[in-house]
Amino acid sequence: MKRCELLIVGAGVAGMAAAVAAWDSGCRNLVLADRADRSGGILPQCIHEGFGLSAFGAELTGPDYADRWAAALKRTGVQLLLNTEVLSVTETKTAILSSREGLGELGFERLILATGCRERAVGSLPIAGTRPAGIFTAGQAQALINLRHQSLGRNILILGSGDLGMIMARRFTLEGKRVIAVVEQNDHYGGMARNHHRCIEQYHIPMLYRSTVSEIHGVGRICGVTLTQLDSGRREYISCDTLITAVGLIPERELARGLGDPDWLYLAGNCHRIHQVADSAAAEAEAIGKRIMQEGQR
C-alpha cells in the first residue's frame, strides 16, 4: 500500500490553500485528490467578479481566482490526483481511491477533508405538490448555464435570497430570461449587501419578503407554484416554467461519518463551515495546513 504524510480530499480553494501552506511548512509527502477533472472546486462556475479582495487585493472572477491558487500549487511538489474519487476513509488511516485507472488504497498520517458543501434540495422542504422537471438548485443551474451553456427556462422563480439566489437572479436576467421574483421567508435578504445591490437592485428584480413557495404545480414540466404570504396566510398562484432553489448549503462530511473525532482528522473550507467568501475559506485552510505541520513536529 502506498503511504503519504498528509492526504487532502478536495482541490477547491480550501484544499489548494491547505496544500500550499503544508508544503511551505515543510510537508514533502502530500497528496491532494479531487473527483473533478480540474482543480478549483465550485469556483470555475462562479464567473462573476468578487473574489480575492483580501488574498490578492483584486476583484477577480471565480475562475481567475482559482487559477491564482492553482499557480501557487504548481510551484510546490504536491501530488495532485484529479478524476479521483475518495470513496471512504477507515479508522486505520487508509483511504480508498477510485478512478478509471483502478482502485487504490492510500495510507496517511493526517487527513484534511476539504470536500466543500452540497445544496439543500427541494425534497427536504415542506413543499407540497408534484415533482416535475424544471426544478434546479442554484448551484446546479449555475453550472449548467456557465459551464455547459444550457438554457433552463424562460420564466424563472427563485426561492431563497442568499448570495447564490441573488447571483443567479442576475445571471438569468443577463441571459435574457425573466426573473419573476426572488422569494424569501425572512424580512431581509440573506446574502451580502454587496450582492443585493449589484444583483437585485441594479437589475430591478422584484423581491418578495415574508413569503414562501408552498406548493409546486405541473405534471411533466413545472407550470407554476403556490406562493404563501407568511404573515397574512394569503395564497397566490404564480406561473413559471423554472424554479430555482437557493435554500441553504450543508457541509459535505460523508467521508467523516463513523470516524468520530480522531486527532488526525481536520476539516477545512465549506466542509468545516459555510464560508460566504472564498478568501475566508482559503485563510482557514492555510492556517490548518500550517498548524498540522507544527503539530506533526511536536
Partner 1 sequence: METYDVVVIGGGLLGCFAARNLRRWDLSVALLEAREDVCTGVSRANTAIVYPGYDHKPGTLKTEMTVRANARFDTLCRELDVPFKRCGSLMVGFGAQAEAVLRRKYENGLAAGVPGLRLLSGAEALALEPALAPGVTLALYAPSAGTVNPWALGVAAFENAVDNGAQPWLNTAVRGIRAEGGSYVVGTDRETFSCRALINCAGLSADRVQALFRAPDVRIVPSAGDYLVLDQTAANAPGHIIQYEPEDGGKGLTAVPTVEGSLLLGPSERENETDFATTLPGLDFVRERAGRVLPRLALEETIRSFAAVRPNPQRFDGGSVGGFVIDNPAPGFWSLIGIKTPGLTCADELGRHVAEHAAAYLQAERNMAFSPQRTGIKKAHGMSCEQRRAAIADDPDYGEVLCRCEDITRAEVLQAIRRGAVTVDGIKRRTGATMGRCQGSRCQQRLVQLLAQEGNIPACAVTKDGRGSEILGGGHETV
Ligand X SMILES: Cc1cc2nc3c(=O)[nH]c(=O)nc-3n(C[C@H](O)[C@H](O)[C@H](O)COP(=O)(O)OP(=O)(O)OC[C@H]3O[C@@H](n4cnc5c(N)ncnc54)[C@H](O)[C@@H]3O)c2cc1C
Q: Are 223 and 217 in contact (CB under 8 A)?
A: yes
Residue 32 engages ligand X in binding (rule: CB under 6 A): no
33 binds, among partner 1, ligand X, none (CB under 5 to 8 A by kind): ligand X
103 binds, among ligand X, partner 1, none (CB under 5 to 8 A by kind): partner 1
Q: What phi, psi does 204 have (nearest 5°)?
A: 55, 45
Residue 171 engages partner 1 in binding (rule: CB under 8 A): no
The binder of partner 1 chosen from 57, 92, 100, 176 (CB under 8 A):
100
- Nearer of residues 114 and 227 to ligand X, judged by Cβ: 114
Q: What is the DSSP letter of 221?
A: B
SS (HEC) of 94-163: EEEEEECCEEEEEEEEEEEECCCEEECCHHHCCCEECCCECEEEHHHHHHHHHCCCCCCCCEEEEECCCH
Residue 102 engages partner 1 in binding (rule: CB under 8 A): yes
Number of residues lying near ligand X (CB under 6 A): 37
The binder of ligand X chosen from 43, 159, 205, 225 (CB under 6 A):
43
Residue 219 engages partner 1 in binding (rule: CB under 8 A): yes
Chain Cα centroid distance, residue 3: 29
72 membership: H or E segment, kind and range: helix 62-74
* Whole-angstrom distance, CA of residue 95 vs CA of residue 104: 8
Residue 87 engages partner 1 in binding (rule: CB under 8 A): yes
- Nearer of residues 50 and 224 to ligand X, judged by Cβ: 50
Numbers of helices and strands, H then E, in the chain: 6, 20
The mark string for 76-95 relative to ligand X (x by CB under 6 A, - otherwise) is ---------xx---------
Which of 26, 32, 25, 14 has the alpha carbon at shortest distance from 74? 32
- What residues from 27 to 46 belong to the interface with partner 1 (CB under 8 A)? 35
- Nearer of residues 96 and 125 to ligand X, judged by Cβ: 96
The mark string for 176-205 relative to ligand X (x by CB under 6 A, - otherwise) is ------------------------------
Q: What is the DSSP letter of 264?
A: T
The mark string for 254-283 relative to ligand X (x by CB under 6 A, - otherwise) is -x-------------xxx---x-xxx-x--
* Whole-angstrom distance, CA of residue 10 vs CA of residue 213: 34
Please report the sign of the dihedral spanned by the C-alpha atoms of residue 265, residue 269, residue 271, residue 273: positive
Residue 118 engages partner 1 in binding (rule: CB under 8 A): yes
Q: Are 244 and 168 in contact (CB under 8 A)?
A: yes
The mark string for 125-164 relative to partner 1 (x by CB under 8 A, - otherwise) is -x-xxxxxxx-xx-xx--xx---x-xxxxxx---------
What SS3 state is found at 33?
strand
Site residues for ligand X per CB under 6 A: 9-15, 33-36, 41-43, 46, 50-51, 85-86, 114-116, 139, 142, 163-164, 167, 252, 255, 269-271, 275, 277-279, 281
